Structure 1
Amino acid sequence: MINREYIEYNNIINLDIKAIYGSPHKKQNLKAIVDEERFKELLLAIENYNGNIFTKVALQISPYLFLRSANIRNLEWSEIDFKNSKITIPANKMKGGEDFIIPLSGSVVKLFEFIKPFSFHHSKYVFPSDISKSKTMSENTLNQAIKRLGFGEEMVFHGFRTTASTLLYEFKNLHRQDSEFIELCLDHRERNKVKATYNRSLRLNDRKFLMQWWSDYIDQLKGIP
């Protein structure tokens, strides 16, 4: 309009769009420990945590499973299959909207068996709220516990997923599993229905092997024979 001389001045072109709407959103990198020695220190600190028993065991289990916070906090006893050593999280709880199966190592099963008497007869949740057994653990509980352990500047709960992903890729020469299986363990799946079914079923043995390798790796860092 200006260059055709219909108007002499246009206020719009001089507006500070950033000042009005803010800068474009930048994806924030969540804090995560990816150094092996520091990860070991975190694992040992969790073992010595002296706070709430549900918080402690949730923190003990989470490095093995690297699930999202909501999946850990909302985990129900009915979703754990002790006989077949696996968890099946229903589609309505998963970010991708599909059932997700997680193979369990012996170390993880032992932790679930340890915590079971504390909540099984009082709550459907594995890690209930300390205030009411009918409610789940609050969203900030696990992050606050990590802070109390002295790792708040380096780690948030979601960082367990980044830690596992980073180290599993770093040690591919040891476990010899393809990237596909690492991504499947993180629930980064092909959302095509046919392929999703294939990944969920036929690839379970491969994921079981990788999850067991990861469990053994963590046990080794913690000095568990």
Structure 2
Amino acid sequence: MSADMTQIMGEFIGTAILILLGGGVCAACNLNKSKAQNAGWIVIAFGWAMAVTIAVFISGFMGPAHLNPAVTIAMAMNGNISWGLVIPFIIAQVLGAIVGAILVWLAYLPHWDETEDQGAILGTFATGPAIRNLPANMITEAIGTFVLVLALLAFGNNDLQFGNNVFAVGAVILAVGLSLGGPTGYAINPARDLGPRIAHAFLPIKNKGDSDWGYALVPIIGPIIGAIIAVLVFKMF
């Protein structure tokens, strides 16, 4: 396998693991008769932070482990990867996210029929706003991703060993989730929202309702804007 294909596979596998564990904690907290039902926001925030950490450890030996189209675009802007890898990485990330969401569905297979709340089901797959105001929601997503990408760029300039670097990334995800996740559920990653939303649309889930495609552009465009601004700010210094 070529070096580029190994990196692309790393993005696919890593993003699948990210969504399996991250979507898994949402399923655990949202779905009826789950032992973790109603465990709350802190559990979800910690679950996503650990999901990112584990996914980066698993895929990091294959490539840069971006697992996020906004991060991939930012790293290309900063010169860390070639622009020729951007589209293949993004495709791999979205496909990996779809696979990860399907694995969550399989892991919680009996619980979907027991859950009638359409919002809880969709919330297991995709993000949604606490108050629906698309411009404000997009600003929130941009700010959260700005923090994430600026931190990633800064970590690259620090003398951190690989393991410490990965745990630092998990800490950023936890901080963003606890501090900035309330308004929109902090997608801060277009693939994290789009892939599972696609899976939600085609999976045979009883009572699933609408996939809310009217909101879907917010967790795609907002993170990309935030990532671009982070690179521009980083390059000022």
**TM-score, structure 2 as length reference:** 0.29
More helix by share: 2
Relative contact order higher in (CA < 8 Å, ≥ 6 apart): 2
Rg larger for: 1
More strand by share: 1
